[in-house]
Amino acid sequence: MCGIVGYIGKNNVKDVLINGLKSLEYRGYDSSGIALSDGKNIQIIKSIGRIKNLEDKINNEKLINAYKGIAHTRWATHGGANEINAHPHKVGKITLVHNGIIENMDYLKTKLEKQGYKFKSQTDSEIIAALIDSHLSDNTLKAINEATKEIIGSYALGIISELDKDCLYATRKDSPLLLGKGNEENFFASDITAINKYTNKFILLDEKEIAVLTEKDIKIYNDNLKEITQNIQKISIDKNSNSKLGYDHYMLKEIMEEPIVLEKTLKSYLENIDKLPDLSKYKQIHIVACGSALYAGMIGKFLFEKYANISCTCEVASEYRYKKNIYDQKTLVILISQSGETADTIAAMRQAKKENIDTLAIVNVKTSTIAREADIKLFIEAGPEIAVATTKAYILQVAMISLLAFKLAKPKLKDPKKIIDEFSKTPKIIKNILDKKETYLNIAKQIYQNENLFFIGRGLDYAISLEGSLKLKEISYIHSEAYQAGELKHGTISLVHEGMPIIAIITDDNLKDKTIANLREVEARGAKTFVICKDNLKEKETDITVPNTSDFTISLEIVPVLQLIAYEVAKLRNCDIDKPKNLAKSVTVE
């Protein structure tokens, strides 16, 4: 949610910032802005809409000869998407960009207004600028430290102070921010992709640390203003992740990468399953996540319970963090998160840790907060995911949780070698599934003009349906719900009307007839039905089939079908597939 980038050095400041913002645009894209500084003057340019609008505006301005600057792309929290609310905000001698949410904003605003500060925007970020300015006498570092101590909430801040000609400041709490160390140039950014073009040396800023960046140097201070030693890490990421490689959209490119990343993620565990943690000492599992990651967790819950015979809950992190959770010392909390920065999932993890409960994270971004703080970490190898709707990372989350369930269930399974064999074959199977683009386009053509749709399934198929439905609604804006097939007739069936598409997922041999019966019920009320099933369960010529494998791998086969149907529908509806409206990829606020 919101992306920030900062640069100091001899390179073209505007270009570095705009390139950075383009890579961070997935974090929010309703407005953006930059502040350039030559040490004397500050030039602020803002625009609503995409970074391209900002770039065009900047190209029409006469720019100062800057050697440092900060920039921001926004996902609105406080106040609408307009130029006044766009960052950077300047109050007194402080100009800043902010990612996060200030919870005691009203209190701070009233206090600052009494001191004479007047605010132009509706944002909490402008209040932080005033707060730091109110503490400023002759030492910016001290003022930032004192001001941030008054803030309740989350923040990643990039700051220019008019007191200091030759430096930038950066600090964070509960929002991501890292530093990049270059040769006679230095950077900060919300994530690596914004600056990996210029450096592969990064410093992960810890909670409440304040960094002072000059062209030649970076110094880091803790919240007692004691300078601390820096841990510079060399991290290389795939440069192709920032390119569509000829595909129309990042989403399509990322779906097409699924066989490759799956093979990469699974390979070493399939060669030696002992590399996975042994969960046999636990008596119950709580899976906690948000959105698609939660739906990956639902698949895990099904497998843990059915095959490993362990009690497992799967809960929305924003609820879990505030409710009473029943733990004992044999509880394991599994967090699933692509970004590793989802605010609610982080809070759920910290809550469990506070109770001395073991935490295991399935996470993609290795430098993220969840990756740093969880007790046990399992990394998926998705690489950067640029499309806002997750695809390749989701499928890897499913693969990893399925593998964990498999390992725990292994002693109870009749033929574990067969399952390992199925896991190994999945990347190739998915590749074949992805090749049938025409089939998915054909379905898409039959549903894209509808405004309402249901996915139905039972058990594991319901868990898979949830993701199919989310993917479709978030990128195509068709209202879609996933329902347990047997539950539909308890009220919701009243919504079924002539021509309404209903997609059934059927992979359970034992429950096939039940779901088919539910399909007949909706067909009798005019619904147009579609079936996605295992090839041994095919009934009609039009059914979409995938190879018949076990519960451990079948979701991995169905999901790409659902992703491609959603993609084709959104394309037919001319939607902005990679950046759906109102969304942002990394949800770093509550």
User: What residues are labeled active site?
Assistant: 2, 585
Nearer to ligand F6R, 199 or 338 (CB): 338
Nearer to ligand F6R, 121 or 338 (CB): 338
Q: Please tell me the distance from the alpha carbon of residue 400 to that of residue 11, in angstroms, as a whole number.
A: 42
577 binds ligand F6R (CB under 6 A): no
Answer for which of 19, 134, 337, 555 binds ligand F6R (CB under 6 A) is 337
Q: How many CB atoms lie within 10 A of CB 266?
A: 23
345 binds ligand F6R (CB under 6 A): yes
Residue 199 neighbours by CB under 8 Å, 6+ apart: 180, 181, 182, 187
Residue 293 neighbours by CB under 8 Å, 6+ apart: 336, 337, 338, 342, 345, 390, 394, 397
The nearest distance, CB 320 to ligand F6R, in angstroms, is 13
Residue 104 neighbours by CB under 8 Å, 6+ apart: 150, 151, 152, 153
Answer for which of 19, 121, 241, 390 binds ligand F6R (CB under 6 A) is 390
The 432-471 contact track toward ligand F6R, x by CB under 6 A, reads --------------------------------------x-
The nearest distance, CB 585 to ligand F6R, in angstroms, is 7
339 binds ligand F6R (CB under 6 A): yes
Q: Please give the residues from 30 up to 89 whose contact with ligand F6R meets the rule CB under 6 A.
A: none
Query: Which listed range, 31-39, 279-287, 303-311, 333-341, lies at the site for ligand F6R (CB under 6 A)?
Result: 333-341
Nearer to ligand F6R, 191 or 551 (CB): 191
587 binds ligand F6R (CB under 6 A): yes
Nearer to ligand F6R, 349 or 409 (CB): 349
The nearest distance, CB 389 to ligand F6R, in angstroms, is 4
Answer for which of 164, 185, 474, 557 binds ligand F6R (CB under 6 A) is 474
Q: Please tell me the distance from the alpha carbon of residue 130 to that of residue 112, in angstroms, as a whole number.
A: 7
Residues, the chain: 590
Query: Which listed range, 29-37, 82-90, 236-244, 339-347, lies at the site for ligand F6R (CB under 6 A)?
Result: 339-347
175 binds ligand F6R (CB under 6 A): no
Nearer to ligand F6R, 42 or 293 (CB): 293
Answer for which of 125, 134, 175, 342 binds ligand F6R (CB under 6 A) is 342
Provide the 3-class DSSP secondary structure of residue 556: helix
Residue nearest to ligand F6R (CB): 291
The nearest distance, CB 452 to ligand F6R, in angstroms, is 20
- List the 218-221 sheet strands across, edge first: 89-91, 94-99, 155-161, 168-173, 210-213, 218-221, 227-228
Nearer to ligand F6R, 556 or 587 (CB): 587
Answer for which of 389, 485, 532, 565 binds ligand F6R (CB under 6 A) is 389
The nearest distance, CB 587 to ligand F6R, in angstroms, is 5
Nearer to ligand F6R, 37 or 338 (CB): 338
Whether the Cβ atoms of residue 286 and residue 315 lie closer than 8 Å to each other:
yes
Tell me, by CB under 6 A, how many residues bind ligand F6R: 15
Whether the Cβ atoms of residue 457 and residue 532 lie closer than 8 Å to each other:
no
Closest CA to 153 of 229, 219, 208: 208
Residue with tokens 């041994």: 536
What is the bridge-based pairing of β-strands 528-534 and 358-363? unpaired
Nearer to ligand F6R, 210 or 365 (CB): 365
Phi, psi dihedrals of residue 151, rounded to the nearest 5°: -90, 130
Nearer to ligand F6R, 199 or 339 (CB): 339
What's the distance, CA 149 to chain centroid?
28
Whether the Cβ atoms of residue 156 and residue 5 lie closer than 8 Å to each other:
no
The nearest distance, CB 437 to ligand F6R, in angstroms, is 21
Q: Which two tokens stand for residue 350?
A: 């910290």
Long-range contacts of 132-141 (CB under 8 A, 24+ apart): 132/94, 132/96, 132/159, 132/161, 133/91, 133/92, 133/93, 133/94, 134/92, 136/92, 136/93, 136/94, 136/161, 136/163, 138/163, 139/163, 140/164, 140/169, 141/169, 141/210, 141/212, 141/221, 141/225
Whether the Cβ atoms of residue 158 and residue 105 lie closer than 8 Å to each other:
no
Closest CA to 149 of 226, 228, 225: 225
The 284-323 contact track toward ligand F6R, x by CB under 6 A, reads ------xxxx------------------------------
174 binds ligand F6R (CB under 6 A): no
Q: Please tell me the distance from the alpha carbon of residue 572 to that of residue 567, in angstroms, as a whole number.
A: 9
374 binds ligand F6R (CB under 6 A): no
Answer for which of 338, 549, 553, 555 binds ligand F6R (CB under 6 A) is 338
Query: Which listed range, 84-92, 336-344, 419-427, 568-576, lies at the site for ligand F6R (CB under 6 A)?
Result: 336-344
Phi, psi dihedrals of residue 307, rounded to the nearest 5°: -105, -30
Query: Which listed range, 48-56, 136-144, 337-345, 504-512, lies at the site for ligand F6R (CB under 6 A)?
Result: 337-345
Between the two ends of the chain, the Cα-to-Cα distance in Å is 10
Q: How many CB atoms lie within 10 A of CB 451?
A: 9
Nearer to ligand F6R, 336 or 488 (CB): 336
The nearest distance, CB 385 to ligand F6R, in angstroms, is 8
The nearest distance, CB 27 to ligand F6R, in angstroms, is 11
Q: Please tell me the distance from the alpha carbon of residue 420 to that of residue 219, in angstroms, as a whole number.
A: 49
The binding site for ligand F6R (CB under 6 A) comprises 290-293, 337-339, 342, 345, 389-390, 470, 474, 586-587
